[in-house]
Structure 1
């Protein structure tokens, strides 16, 4: 069952000169119930903006310009023109419910989305070090979240649940009476995970859950997320710049660059049958355990400015495989399997297919071979295209 369906979503940030930063540009993907889905890419590619837009946590100058965020869950009813609360089959895109019963989170009011957060979709924020209130006991912060969304719950029961949640993530229950500064970095991250699970949500959004942690603690945090998913059946949307995190825990993933998705599909397919120049470049910059003498190769140049993005493929200025067509328009998401089997470029209708935004998907053998060579990724090579 598809729990979350992001459809052609565009998110903008207004700036002082009346222009806008195109932070997320016509992005589509879906997340199945009980699945771990990953969004990976360089800093500034739009990952966190995309995640925050799903539950209305953008900065004050951020807004969803277009698109839908369809969610399959029990959400607050909307009112019709006569003030009657209802959930109905409708065709009007300005209303938050569509024919199959899914609700458009992007169309909910601020008061309605507050009821969705924590109860249906919970966020594990990017910096656990700053996510906890320093003047409240850690256990009290978890209790507060429970009582906000379940006001009928007795205070003692909420306190007991908070301690139980901390124990589930490997923190001694009595530490609920401690303050955040008394926790180590790894304990803070676990505490934030426990807080996110306070109201048994259907989905967790984990934004850079292993940032600023050493590799041992990173591994333990990822194990905690996997254990929570197995126990509660929760879906997890993982956001990271670390492609190795995706390989470890994600069932499917999408690679973002410049506000767009460049490649998406099953994690195994993306790693074993990499089909986009940007993904190939990203893989080159991370070490593998199978090649001890591997030379890491970085992608030359810098990500594009999204304030007034140029026409064409977002990655073309840094891509050694760009062709003339890349300058005119950004490529659609092509079906990789279809391109390999038939040599034809066909847009992928299925979100679950292995997809790549590249005009040269039908030339993958050549591109993959050249992408392994260090000289392919020099500024001189790219400038000479």
Structure 2
């Protein structure tokens, strides 16, 4: 069952001269219940902005220009005793609720979204190690989140639950009485995860959950997320620039570049049957056990400016496989399996299928072969196209 549907979401940041930066353009993906979905890409590609927009945490100059964020959860005042949307709310044209009961988070007010944060959707921020208030005890901060969304819970019950949550993520319960500066980096990260799980949300957004941690602690954090998912059945949206994190933890994923989704689908297909030049370039620039004796191949050039970008493919200026068509318009998402047998005659409409935004989708075998060669990714070759 689908928990979250993001449809054609475009986010902008207003700048002083009256123009705007295109943080994301027409991004679409879905997250199933109990699934781990990943968004991966270079810094500045829009993945963190997208995550913040889901729960209305954009900076003051950020705004959603168009698109919908349909979530399988209803505001308490709009729901019945089972938590489902009432028919009167569904029939009300002024309420952003679909016939299937999903609510459009993008259409909610900031006051309304506060009833959904923590209770239904919790976020582990990118700066998790700095997210704890230094003048409050760690346990008290978890208790505050519980009491805000569960006023029927007593303070003693909330404190006991906070201690239990810390223990579940590998922290001694008595450390609930300590302050953030008394925690190591890994402990702070686990404490923030415990806080995010305080109200048993349906969706957990983990933004760069392993950044600035050594590889041993990274592995432990990923293990904690997997354990929590199994125990609570929570869906997880993981955001990272590290494709190794995606390979370890995700079921499905999307690869973003320049505010666009370039490739999406099941993790195993994206890594095993890569179907986009940008993803091929990412794989080349990351070390593996089997290629330890080979030099890493970086993608030449720099990401595009997102202030008033043109209509062409966002990756074309760094892509060794770009053709004239790539300069005219950004490619739609094609179904990879269909393209390999039928060519690129049909756009991919199935969100769960393996899809790629590339006009050369019907030449994948050649692209995969050429992408392995270091000479393919030289600036001279790309400039000579």
Provide TM-score, normalisation by structure 2.
0.96
Question: Judging changes above 3 Å, is the alpha-carbon distance between structure 1 residues 165 and 276 closer, same or farther for their aligned structure 2 residues?
Answer: same
Shift of 1:309: 0.8
Corresponding residue for residue 143 of structure 1 = 143
Post-superposition offset of 1:73: 1.6
Shift of 1:345: 3.4
Secondary structure at the residue paired with 1:26?
Answer: strand
Query: 2:181 matched to which residue of 1?
Result: 181
Provide Cα deviations, 1:2-46, integer angstroms capped at 9, x if missing partner. 000001100000000010010010000000000000000000000
> d(CA) in 2 for partners of 1:90 and 1:108?
17
* Aligned alpha-carbon RMSD (Å): 1.4
Shift of 1:86: 6.9
Q: Distance in 1 between matches of 2:197 and 2:345?
A: 43
In the other structure, the counterpart of 1:271 is 271
> Cα distance, 1:310 vs. partner?
2.0
Please list, as runs of the form range in 1=range in 2, the aligned pairs for 1:82-161 lying within 5 A after superposition.
87-90=88-91, 92=93, 95-161=95-161
Match of 1:281 in 2: 281
Q: Which moved more, 1:129-138 or 1:284-293?
A: 284-293
What's the CA shift for 1:77? Answer: 4.2
How many Å separate the matches in 2 of 1:96 and 1:156? 37
Note if contact 1:333-1:357 (Cα within 8 Å) is conserved in structure 2. Answer: yes
Query: Does the 8 Å CA contact 2:10/2:65 hold for their aligned counterparts?
Result: yes
Conserved 8 A contact 2:119-2:200? yes
Q: Is the CA contact 1:137–1:179 (under 8 Å) kept in the aligned structure 2?
A: yes
**Which residue pairs with 1:218 in the alignment?**
218
Q: Which residue of 1 aligns with 2:37?
A: 37
8 A contact 1:206–1:239 mirrored in 2? yes
1-structure distance, mates of 2:55, 2:134: 25
The separation in 2 between residues aligned to 1:100 and 1:119, in whole angstroms, is 21
| Conserved? CA contact 1:78–1:86, under 8 Å | no
Match of residue 24 from structure 1: 24
Structure 1 residue 15 corresponds to structure 2 residue 33: no
Alignment gaps of 5+ in structure 2: 80-85
Counterpart of 1:362 in structure 2 is: 362
**Aligned-partner Cα distance in 1 for 2:303–2:287:** 22
Q: Is the 8 A contact 1:91 1:99 kept in 2?
A: no
Displacement after TM superposition at 1:152 (Å): 1.4
Structure 1, unmatched stretches of 5+, are 80-84
- 1:82 aligns with none
User: Corresponding residue for 1:381?
Assistant: 381
Q: How many residues align?
A: 379
1:327 and 1:199 map into 2 onto residues whose CA distance is 48
TM-score (norm 1): 0.96
CA distance in 1, matches of 2:167, 2:61: 39
Contact 2:31 2:37 in 1 (8 A): yes
